[in-house]
Structure 1
Amino acid sequence: MVRSCKTVFFYQSNFLVDFYMCGRKTLTKDKKSIIEELNIENWDETINYTPSYNIAPTQKSLVLVGEKDKRLVKSMNWGLIPSWSKNKNIGSKLINARSETLHEKPSFKYLIKSNRCIVLSDGYYEWNTTNSKKQPYYFYDKQKNILPMAGLWSSFLSKDNETTLSYTIITKKADKEISHIHNRMPLIIDFNRIDDWVNIDGLIEVNSNYELVRKDLLSFHKVDSFVNSYRNNKKDCIQPIK
Protein backbone atom coordinates (compact mmCIF):
# COMPACT_ATOMS: atom_id res chain seq x y z
CA MET A 1 0.00 0.00 0.00
CA VAL A 2 1.22 3.48 -0.87
CA ARG A 3 1.55 5.82 2.10
CA SER A 4 1.94 9.56 2.16
CA CYS A 5 3.18 11.58 5.09
CA LYS A 6 1.07 14.63 4.38
CA THR A 7 -2.64 15.09 3.87
CA VAL A 8 -3.84 16.30 0.50
CA PHE A 9 -6.26 19.22 0.70
CA PHE A 10 -8.59 20.46 -2.01
CA TYR A 11 -10.10 23.93 -1.94
CA GLN A 12 -12.61 25.38 -4.37
CA SER A 13 -16.02 26.96 -4.24
CA ASN A 14 -18.83 24.41 -4.16
CA PHE A 15 -20.59 23.90 -7.47
CA LEU A 16 -23.46 21.44 -7.34
CA VAL A 17 -24.49 19.30 -10.26
CA ASP A 18 -27.36 16.84 -10.49
CA PHE A 19 -25.61 14.30 -12.70
CA TYR A 20 -22.31 12.47 -12.83
CA MET A 21 -19.36 13.95 -14.63
CA CYS A 22 -16.99 11.66 -16.46
CA GLY A 23 -19.19 8.60 -16.68
CA ARG A 24 -17.54 7.16 -19.79
CA LYS A 25 -13.94 7.18 -21.01
CA THR A 26 -11.42 5.62 -23.37
CA LEU A 27 -8.02 3.98 -23.35
CA THR A 28 -7.25 3.20 -26.96
CA LYS A 29 -3.46 2.89 -26.83
CA ASP A 30 -1.75 -0.49 -26.91
CA LYS A 31 0.26 -1.87 -24.00
CA LYS A 32 3.65 -0.99 -25.50
CA SER A 33 2.64 2.65 -26.07
CA ILE A 34 1.33 3.02 -22.51
CA ILE A 35 4.52 1.59 -21.00
CA GLU A 36 6.73 3.87 -23.08
CA GLU A 37 4.69 7.04 -22.61
CA LEU A 38 4.44 6.72 -18.83
CA ASN A 39 7.75 4.97 -18.10
CA ILE A 40 5.95 2.05 -16.50
CA GLU A 41 8.34 -0.15 -14.53
CA ASN A 42 5.96 -2.93 -13.50
CA TRP A 43 2.88 -4.26 -15.26
CA ASP A 44 0.69 -6.84 -13.55
CA GLU A 45 1.00 -9.72 -16.02
CA THR A 46 -2.34 -11.17 -14.92
CA ILE A 47 -4.05 -8.24 -16.66
CA ASN A 48 -5.91 -9.17 -19.82
CA TYR A 49 -5.73 -5.71 -21.39
CA THR A 50 -7.61 -4.74 -24.53
CA PRO A 51 -7.79 -1.14 -25.81
CA SER A 52 -11.28 0.32 -25.37
CA TYR A 53 -13.27 3.14 -26.97
CA ASN A 54 -16.08 3.02 -24.42
CA ILE A 55 -15.20 2.21 -20.80
CA ALA A 56 -18.23 2.35 -18.49
CA PRO A 57 -18.61 2.37 -14.68
CA THR A 58 -18.21 -1.02 -12.93
CA GLN A 59 -15.99 -2.26 -15.77
CA LYS A 60 -12.33 -3.02 -15.24
CA SER A 61 -9.69 -0.61 -16.53
CA LEU A 62 -6.07 0.31 -15.93
CA VAL A 63 -4.81 2.26 -12.92
CA LEU A 64 -1.26 3.35 -12.06
CA VAL A 65 -0.16 3.15 -8.42
CA GLY A 66 3.12 3.74 -6.64
CA GLU A 67 4.77 0.68 -5.12
CA LYS A 68 8.24 0.92 -3.57
CA ASP A 69 8.81 4.15 -5.52
CA LYS A 70 8.08 2.43 -8.82
CA ARG A 71 5.16 2.80 -11.19
CA LEU A 72 2.92 -0.26 -11.22
CA VAL A 73 -0.11 -0.79 -13.46
CA LYS A 74 -3.06 -2.75 -12.10
CA SER A 75 -6.57 -3.54 -13.30
CA MET A 76 -9.38 -2.23 -11.09
CA ASN A 77 -13.15 -1.83 -11.19
CA TRP A 78 -14.41 1.68 -11.92
CA GLY A 79 -16.54 2.68 -8.94
CA LEU A 80 -14.94 2.78 -5.51
CA ILE A 81 -15.96 0.20 -2.91
CA PRO A 82 -14.74 1.35 0.53
CA SER A 83 -13.02 -1.41 2.49
CA TRP A 84 -15.54 -0.99 5.31
CA SER A 85 -18.61 -1.18 3.08
CA LYS A 86 -21.15 -3.96 3.60
CA ASN A 87 -22.56 -3.55 0.11
CA LYS A 88 -20.32 -4.14 -2.89
CA ASN A 89 -22.87 -2.48 -5.16
CA ILE A 90 -22.07 0.92 -3.67
CA GLY A 91 -19.28 1.18 -6.22
CA SER A 92 -21.69 2.17 -8.99
CA LYS A 93 -22.52 5.32 -6.99
CA LEU A 94 -18.89 6.28 -6.33
CA ILE A 95 -17.41 6.60 -9.81
CA ASN A 96 -16.42 10.24 -9.17
CA ALA A 97 -15.13 12.14 -6.12
CA ARG A 98 -15.62 15.90 -5.97
CA SER A 99 -12.32 17.60 -5.15
CA GLU A 100 -14.08 20.34 -3.19
CA THR A 101 -15.47 17.91 -0.59
CA LEU A 102 -12.98 15.07 -0.83
CA HIS A 103 -11.59 15.54 2.67
CA GLU A 104 -15.11 15.54 4.17
CA LYS A 105 -16.56 12.33 2.76
CA PRO A 106 -16.05 9.09 4.76
CA SER A 107 -15.71 7.10 1.55
CA PHE A 108 -12.73 9.18 0.41
CA LYS A 109 -11.05 11.12 3.20
CA TYR A 110 -9.21 8.13 4.68
CA LEU A 111 -7.76 7.23 1.27
CA ILE A 112 -6.18 10.62 0.57
CA LYS A 113 -3.02 9.83 2.54
CA SER A 114 -2.45 6.27 1.44
CA ASN A 115 -4.35 5.32 -1.70
CA ARG A 116 -3.82 7.88 -4.43
CA CYS A 117 -3.65 6.63 -8.01
CA ILE A 118 -3.61 7.68 -11.64
CA VAL A 119 -6.49 6.49 -13.78
CA LEU A 120 -5.14 5.74 -17.25
CA SER A 121 -7.28 7.24 -20.01
CA ASP A 122 -6.69 8.99 -23.29
CA GLY A 123 -10.09 10.63 -23.48
CA TYR A 124 -13.53 10.89 -21.95
CA TYR A 125 -17.10 11.59 -23.04
CA GLU A 126 -19.51 14.18 -21.77
CA TRP A 127 -23.09 14.95 -22.72
CA ASN A 128 -24.45 18.45 -23.23
CA THR A 129 -28.22 18.92 -22.98
CA THR A 130 -29.88 21.49 -25.24
CA ASN A 131 -33.65 21.64 -25.75
CA SER A 132 -34.01 18.22 -24.12
CA LYS A 133 -31.52 16.72 -26.59
CA LYS A 134 -28.31 15.18 -25.27
CA GLN A 135 -25.30 15.63 -27.53
CA PRO A 136 -22.18 13.57 -26.68
CA TYR A 137 -18.72 15.16 -26.93
CA TYR A 138 -15.31 13.53 -26.83
CA PHE A 139 -12.50 15.24 -24.88
CA TYR A 140 -8.85 14.33 -25.42
CA ASP A 141 -5.30 15.65 -25.19
CA LYS A 142 -4.34 18.10 -27.94
CA GLN A 143 -1.17 16.07 -28.57
CA LYS A 144 -3.07 12.74 -28.32
CA ASN A 145 -1.20 11.88 -25.12
CA ILE A 146 -2.57 9.94 -22.17
CA LEU A 147 -4.68 11.95 -19.73
CA PRO A 148 -3.38 11.01 -16.25
CA MET A 149 -6.56 11.41 -14.18
CA ALA A 150 -6.17 11.77 -10.42
CA GLY A 151 -7.97 9.05 -8.50
CA LEU A 152 -8.30 7.15 -5.25
CA TRP A 153 -8.39 3.38 -4.92
CA SER A 154 -9.50 0.82 -2.37
CA SER A 155 -9.28 -2.90 -1.66
CA PHE A 156 -12.51 -4.65 -0.62
CA LEU A 157 -12.59 -8.12 0.94
CA SER A 158 -15.93 -9.92 0.68
CA LYS A 159 -17.33 -12.48 3.13
CA ASP A 160 -16.17 -15.12 0.68
CA ASN A 161 -12.59 -13.80 0.94
CA GLU A 162 -12.74 -12.40 -2.59
CA THR A 163 -10.66 -9.24 -3.03
CA THR A 164 -11.90 -6.48 -5.35
CA LEU A 165 -9.72 -3.51 -6.27
CA SER A 166 -11.68 -0.42 -7.25
CA TYR A 167 -11.18 3.29 -7.92
CA THR A 168 -12.87 6.65 -8.29
CA ILE A 169 -11.93 9.61 -10.51
CA ILE A 170 -11.42 12.98 -8.80
CA THR A 171 -13.21 15.87 -10.50
CA LYS A 172 -13.06 19.65 -10.39
CA LYS A 173 -14.86 22.64 -11.82
CA ALA A 174 -14.47 22.65 -15.60
CA ASP A 175 -11.93 24.95 -17.21
CA LYS A 176 -13.47 28.00 -18.84
CA GLU A 177 -12.79 26.72 -22.36
CA ILE A 178 -15.05 23.69 -21.92
CA SER A 179 -17.50 24.82 -19.24
CA HIS A 180 -20.19 25.59 -21.84
CA ILE A 181 -20.42 21.86 -22.52
CA HIS A 182 -20.18 20.57 -18.96
CA ASN A 183 -19.44 22.19 -15.63
CA ARG A 184 -17.17 19.41 -14.33
CA MET A 185 -14.00 17.72 -15.59
CA PRO A 186 -11.44 15.18 -14.35
CA LEU A 187 -8.52 16.48 -12.31
CA ILE A 188 -5.68 15.77 -14.76
CA ILE A 189 -2.19 15.52 -13.28
CA ASP A 190 0.85 16.99 -15.03
CA PHE A 191 3.17 14.30 -16.40
CA ASN A 192 6.06 15.68 -14.32
CA ARG A 193 4.03 15.40 -11.11
CA ILE A 194 2.71 11.86 -11.42
CA ASP A 195 5.24 10.48 -8.95
CA ASP A 196 4.39 13.26 -6.49
CA TRP A 197 0.78 12.11 -6.63
CA VAL A 198 1.25 8.35 -6.27
CA ASN A 199 4.48 7.82 -4.35
CA ILE A 200 5.18 7.39 -0.65
CA ASP A 201 7.36 10.48 -0.40
CA GLY A 202 5.11 12.72 -2.45
CA LEU A 203 4.40 15.74 -0.26
CA ILE A 204 1.30 17.18 -1.87
CA GLU A 205 -0.99 20.03 -0.99
CA VAL A 206 -3.43 20.79 -3.77
CA ASN A 207 -4.88 24.27 -3.35
CA SER A 208 -7.04 26.55 -5.43
CA ASN A 209 -4.20 26.96 -7.95
CA TYR A 210 -4.11 23.22 -8.64
CA GLU A 211 -0.39 23.37 -9.34
CA LEU A 212 -0.26 19.61 -9.98
CA VAL A 213 -2.81 19.87 -12.73
CA ARG A 214 -2.24 20.22 -16.46
CA LYS A 215 -4.02 23.22 -17.94
CA ASP A 216 -5.26 24.17 -21.40
CA LEU A 217 -4.57 20.72 -22.79
CA LEU A 218 -7.95 19.51 -24.02
CA SER A 219 -9.44 19.37 -27.47
CA PHE A 220 -12.99 18.20 -28.06
CA HIS A 221 -15.54 17.48 -30.75
CA LYS A 222 -19.06 16.18 -31.18
CA VAL A 223 -19.51 12.45 -31.61
CA ASP A 224 -22.42 10.28 -32.66
CA SER A 225 -25.00 8.99 -30.16
CA PHE A 226 -23.60 5.56 -31.07
CA VAL A 227 -21.44 6.02 -27.96
CA ASN A 228 -24.48 6.22 -25.69
CA SER A 229 -24.57 2.45 -25.34
CA TYR A 230 -21.58 1.02 -23.51
CA ARG A 231 -21.99 -2.09 -25.66
CA ASN A 232 -20.72 -0.10 -28.62
CA ASN A 233 -16.95 -0.28 -28.37
CA LYS A 234 -15.49 0.70 -31.72
CA LYS A 235 -13.42 3.51 -33.17
CA ASP A 236 -16.71 4.94 -34.46
CA CYS A 237 -17.33 6.14 -30.89
CA ILE A 238 -14.67 8.86 -31.13
CA GLN A 239 -15.11 9.89 -34.76
CA PRO A 240 -16.06 13.59 -35.10
CA ILE A 241 -19.40 14.61 -36.57
CA LYS A 242 -20.68 18.00 -37.67
Structure 2
Amino acid sequence: MCGRFTLLADEEEILQTFDIKQPITDYQPSFNIAPGQSVLTIIHDGKEKRAGYIRWGLVPSWAKDEKIGYKMINARNETAHEKPSFKKLMAKKRCLIIADSFYEWQQDAQQKQPKRIQVKDRELFAFAGLWDKWEYAGKKLFTCTMLTTEANDFMQKIHHRMPIILPKEKQDEWIQPNTLHPKEAKQFIDSIQMDQLTAYDVSTYVNTAKNNDKNCIAPLV
Protein backbone atom coordinates (compact mmCIF):
# COMPACT_ATOMS: atom_id res chain seq x y z
CA MET A 1 0.00 0.00 0.00
CA CYS A 2 0.99 3.64 0.07
CA GLY A 3 -0.26 6.04 2.72
CA ARG A 4 2.16 8.97 2.61
CA PHE A 5 4.43 10.60 0.05
CA THR A 6 6.31 13.80 -0.79
CA LEU A 7 6.51 16.33 -3.59
CA LEU A 8 9.27 18.89 -3.08
CA ALA A 9 10.21 19.93 -6.63
CA ASP A 10 9.57 23.46 -7.82
CA GLU A 11 6.74 24.12 -10.26
CA GLU A 12 8.95 24.74 -13.28
CA GLU A 13 10.71 21.41 -12.86
CA ILE A 14 7.34 19.61 -12.78
CA LEU A 15 6.09 21.44 -15.88
CA GLN A 16 9.25 20.57 -17.81
CA THR A 17 9.47 16.96 -16.63
CA PHE A 18 5.89 16.12 -17.57
CA ASP A 19 5.61 18.50 -20.56
CA ILE A 20 2.74 20.53 -19.11
CA LYS A 21 1.95 23.78 -20.95
CA GLN A 22 -0.21 25.57 -18.38
CA PRO A 23 0.89 26.70 -14.88
CA ILE A 24 -0.27 24.74 -11.85
CA THR A 25 -2.88 26.62 -9.85
CA ASP A 26 -1.89 27.05 -6.17
CA TYR A 27 1.09 24.71 -6.33
CA GLN A 28 2.56 23.91 -2.91
CA PRO A 29 5.43 21.49 -2.18
CA SER A 30 4.86 19.08 0.70
CA PHE A 31 7.06 16.89 2.90
CA ASN A 32 4.16 14.77 4.15
CA ILE A 33 1.17 14.24 1.86
CA ALA A 34 -1.54 12.21 3.59
CA PRO A 35 -4.92 10.71 2.65
CA GLY A 36 -7.71 13.26 2.50
CA GLN A 37 -5.33 15.98 1.30
CA SER A 38 -5.14 17.41 -2.21
CA VAL A 39 -2.58 15.74 -4.46
CA LEU A 40 -1.11 16.89 -7.75
CA THR A 41 -2.40 14.81 -10.64
CA ILE A 42 -2.09 14.87 -14.42
CA ILE A 43 -4.82 13.83 -16.83
CA HIS A 44 -5.28 14.10 -20.59
CA ASP A 45 -8.46 15.99 -21.48
CA GLY A 46 -8.47 14.84 -25.11
CA LYS A 47 -6.53 17.87 -26.32
CA GLU A 48 -3.63 18.21 -23.90
CA LYS A 49 -2.23 17.12 -20.57
CA ARG A 50 -3.40 19.14 -17.57
CA ALA A 51 -2.04 19.25 -14.03
CA GLY A 52 -4.17 20.10 -11.03
CA TYR A 53 -5.13 19.16 -7.50
CA ILE A 54 -7.74 16.61 -6.51
CA ARG A 55 -8.41 14.88 -3.20
CA TRP A 56 -6.62 11.66 -2.33
CA GLY A 57 -9.17 9.01 -1.39
CA LEU A 58 -11.58 7.91 -4.09
CA VAL A 59 -15.25 8.78 -3.73
CA PRO A 60 -17.02 6.79 -6.49
CA SER A 61 -19.63 8.65 -8.50
CA TRP A 62 -22.38 6.40 -7.07
CA ALA A 63 -21.44 6.87 -3.39
CA LYS A 64 -23.86 8.53 -0.97
CA ASP A 65 -21.23 9.53 1.60
CA GLU A 66 -17.90 11.14 0.74
CA LYS A 67 -16.31 9.60 3.87
CA ILE A 68 -15.89 6.40 1.86
CA GLY A 69 -12.84 8.06 0.35
CA TYR A 70 -10.75 7.45 3.47
CA LYS A 71 -11.10 3.71 2.84
CA MET A 72 -10.16 3.98 -0.83
CA ILE A 73 -6.75 5.60 -0.99
CA ASN A 74 -5.34 2.52 -2.75
CA ALA A 75 -6.72 0.09 -5.34
CA ARG A 76 -5.26 -3.37 -5.85
CA ASN A 77 -4.16 -3.77 -9.46
CA GLU A 78 -4.86 -7.50 -9.26
CA THR A 79 -8.61 -6.91 -8.85
CA ALA A 80 -9.32 -3.27 -9.81
CA HIS A 81 -10.49 -4.26 -13.30
CA GLU A 82 -13.27 -6.34 -11.69
CA LYS A 83 -14.40 -4.11 -8.81
CA PRO A 84 -17.47 -1.86 -9.28
CA SER A 85 -15.63 1.10 -7.73
CA PHE A 86 -12.68 0.91 -10.11
CA LYS A 87 -13.38 -0.96 -13.35
CA LYS A 88 -14.96 1.96 -15.22
CA LEU A 89 -12.09 4.17 -14.08
CA MET A 90 -9.55 1.63 -15.36
CA ALA A 91 -11.31 1.98 -18.72
CA LYS A 92 -11.23 5.75 -19.11
CA LYS A 93 -10.32 7.74 -15.98
CA ARG A 94 -6.63 7.08 -15.53
CA CYS A 95 -4.26 9.67 -14.06
CA LEU A 96 -0.72 10.30 -12.92
CA ILE A 97 -0.14 11.17 -9.26
CA ILE A 98 3.08 13.17 -9.03
CA ALA A 99 5.69 12.55 -6.32
CA ASP A 100 9.40 12.44 -5.61
CA SER A 101 9.37 9.89 -2.76
CA PHE A 102 7.01 7.89 -0.61
CA TYR A 103 7.07 6.58 2.94
CA GLU A 104 6.58 3.02 4.11
CA TRP A 105 6.83 1.51 7.57
CA GLN A 106 8.98 -1.58 8.16
CA GLN A 107 7.99 -3.73 11.12
CA ASP A 108 10.89 -4.76 13.35
CA ALA A 109 10.96 -6.39 16.76
CA GLN A 110 10.18 -3.18 18.61
CA GLN A 111 8.37 -0.76 16.32
CA LYS A 112 7.42 0.21 12.80
CA GLN A 113 10.39 2.04 11.30
CA PRO A 114 9.44 4.68 8.70
CA LYS A 115 11.53 4.77 5.55
CA ARG A 116 11.71 7.29 2.74
CA ILE A 117 11.76 5.53 -0.63
CA GLN A 118 12.91 7.14 -3.87
CA VAL A 119 13.39 6.09 -7.48
CA LYS A 120 17.05 5.56 -8.22
CA ASP A 121 18.45 8.08 -10.74
CA ARG A 122 15.11 9.89 -11.07
CA GLU A 123 13.91 12.72 -8.84
CA LEU A 124 10.32 13.10 -10.02
CA PHE A 125 8.06 10.20 -10.86
CA ALA A 126 4.39 9.31 -11.28
CA PHE A 127 2.21 6.77 -9.51
CA ALA A 128 -0.45 5.08 -11.63
CA GLY A 129 -3.78 6.46 -10.43
CA LEU A 130 -7.50 6.47 -11.11
CA TRP A 131 -9.85 9.43 -10.64
CA ASP A 132 -13.55 10.11 -10.47
CA LYS A 133 -16.04 12.96 -10.19
CA TRP A 134 -18.62 12.83 -7.39
CA GLU A 135 -21.73 14.99 -7.08
CA TYR A 136 -24.31 14.71 -4.30
CA ALA A 137 -26.67 17.13 -2.60
CA GLY A 138 -25.18 20.08 -4.45
CA LYS A 139 -21.56 19.21 -3.60
CA LYS A 140 -18.94 18.30 -6.20
CA LEU A 141 -15.61 16.53 -5.61
CA PHE A 142 -12.78 15.24 -7.79
CA THR A 143 -10.90 12.43 -6.07
CA CYS A 144 -8.32 9.77 -6.84
CA THR A 145 -6.83 6.49 -5.73
CA MET A 146 -3.40 4.94 -6.25
CA LEU A 147 -2.89 1.51 -7.81
CA THR A 148 -0.78 -0.94 -5.81
CA THR A 149 0.71 -4.36 -6.42
CA GLU A 150 2.67 -7.08 -4.65
CA ALA A 151 6.07 -5.88 -3.48
CA ASN A 152 9.08 -6.47 -5.70
CA ASP A 153 12.33 -7.93 -4.36
CA PHE A 154 13.47 -4.57 -2.99
CA MET A 155 10.21 -3.68 -1.26
CA GLN A 156 9.57 -7.14 0.22
CA LYS A 157 12.05 -6.35 2.99
CA ILE A 158 9.96 -3.33 3.94
CA HIS A 159 6.31 -4.15 3.15
CA HIS A 160 4.37 -6.82 1.25
CA ARG A 161 2.75 -4.27 -1.11
CA MET A 162 3.89 -1.21 -3.01
CA PRO A 163 2.51 1.58 -5.22
CA ILE A 164 2.87 1.22 -8.98
CA ILE A 165 5.44 3.69 -10.29
CA LEU A 166 5.26 4.17 -14.03
CA PRO A 167 8.44 4.22 -16.13
CA LYS A 168 8.96 7.55 -17.91
CA GLU A 169 8.13 6.09 -21.30
CA LYS A 170 4.81 4.67 -20.04
CA GLN A 171 3.42 7.76 -18.31
CA ASP A 172 1.76 9.38 -21.32
CA GLU A 173 0.47 6.04 -22.55
CA TRP A 174 -1.31 5.41 -19.23
CA ILE A 175 -3.32 8.64 -19.45
CA GLN A 176 -4.11 8.59 -23.17
CA PRO A 177 -7.81 9.56 -23.54
CA ASN A 178 -8.71 6.37 -25.41
CA THR A 179 -11.13 3.95 -23.73
CA LEU A 180 -9.67 0.57 -22.79
CA HIS A 181 -11.33 -2.58 -21.60
CA PRO A 182 -10.56 -2.68 -17.84
CA LYS A 183 -8.65 -5.93 -18.35
CA GLU A 184 -6.48 -4.22 -21.00
CA ALA A 185 -5.56 -1.52 -18.49
CA LYS A 186 -4.56 -4.21 -15.99
CA GLN A 187 -2.49 -5.97 -18.65
CA PHE A 188 -0.74 -2.69 -19.41
CA ILE A 189 0.23 -2.30 -15.75
CA ASP A 190 1.27 -5.96 -15.51
CA SER A 191 3.65 -5.48 -18.45
CA ILE A 192 5.69 -2.61 -17.02
CA GLN A 193 9.09 -2.93 -15.42
CA MET A 194 9.43 -0.52 -12.51
CA ASP A 195 12.65 1.39 -11.94
CA GLN A 196 15.05 0.51 -9.13
CA LEU A 197 14.36 2.06 -5.74
CA THR A 198 16.48 3.29 -2.85
CA ALA A 199 15.47 3.82 0.78
CA TYR A 200 16.71 5.25 4.07
CA ASP A 201 15.35 5.46 7.62
CA VAL A 202 13.62 8.61 8.81
CA SER A 203 12.24 9.68 12.19
CA THR A 204 8.80 8.70 13.48
CA TYR A 205 8.19 12.46 13.30
CA VAL A 206 6.67 11.72 9.89
CA ASN A 207 4.01 9.50 11.49
CA THR A 208 1.98 12.60 12.39
CA ALA A 209 0.35 13.99 9.26
CA LYS A 210 0.36 17.58 10.52
CA ASN A 211 4.18 17.52 10.64
CA ASN A 212 5.22 18.91 7.26
CA ASP A 213 8.78 20.21 7.15
CA LYS A 214 12.32 19.06 6.36
CA ASN A 215 12.48 16.98 9.54
CA CYS A 216 10.18 14.47 7.80
CA ILE A 217 12.89 13.55 5.30
CA ALA A 218 15.99 13.98 7.48
CA PRO A 219 18.02 10.74 7.52
CA LEU A 220 17.90 8.98 10.87
CA VAL A 221 21.36 9.00 12.41
User: Shorter-normalised TM-score: what interval?
Assistant: over 0.9
User: Which residue number in structure 2 is paired with residue 179 of structure 1?
Assistant: 156
Does residue 127 in structure 1 map to residue 120 in structure 2?
Answer: no
Indicate conservation of the 8 Å contact 2:92/2:178, yes or no: no
Gaps of 5+ in 1: 1-20
The amino acid that maps onto 1:227 is V
User: Which residue number in structure 2 is paired with residue 85 of structure 1?
Assistant: 63
CA pair 205-152 structure 1, distance change in 2 beyond 3 A: closer
What are the superposed Cα offsets for residues 198-233 of structure 1, whole Å, 9 maximum, x if unpaired? 0124865543983334332x1110001110101110
User: Which residue number in structure 1 is paired with residue 2 of structure 2?
Assistant: 22
Gaps of 5+ in 2: none
Indicate conservation of the 8 Å contact 2:73/2:146, yes or no: yes
CA pair 159-146 structure 1, distance change in 2 beyond 3 A: same
The amino acid that maps onto 1:72 is R
Indicate conservation of the 8 Å contact 1:195/1:202, yes or no: no
Q: Which of 210, 215, 219 in structure 2 is aligned with 1:236?
A: 215
Q: Output the aligned Cα RMSD.
A: 1.8
2-structure distance, mates of 1:166, 1:43: 21
The CA deviation at 1:158 is 2.2
Q: Which of 165, 183, 198 in structure 2 is aligned with 1:219?
A: 198
* Seq. identity, %: 36
What are the superposed Cα offsets for residues 71-100 of structure 1, whole Å, 9 maximum, x if unpaired? 110210000000110011000000000001
1-structure distance, mates of 2:163, 2:23: 24
The amino acid that maps onto 1:98 is R
User: Secondary structure of the residue that 1:100 maps to in structure 2?
Assistant: coil
User: Which residue number in structure 2 is paired with residue 68 of structure 1?
Assistant: 46
TM-score, normalised to structure 2's length?
0.92
User: Secondary structure of the residue that 2:89 maps to in structure 1?
Assistant: coil
The CA deviation at 1:143 is 2.1
Indicate conservation of the 8 Å contact 2:106/2:115, yes or no: yes
CA pair 213-202 structure 1, distance change in 2 beyond 3 A: farther
TM-score, normalised to structure 1's length?
0.85
Q: Which of 32, 38, 45 in structure 1 is aligned with 2:18?
A: 38
Does residue 189 in structure 1 map to residue 178 in structure 2?
Answer: no
1-structure distance, mates of 2:188, 2:81: 14
The CA deviation at 1:156 is 0.6
Q: Which of 33, 42, 49 in structure 2 is aligned with 1:55?
A: 33
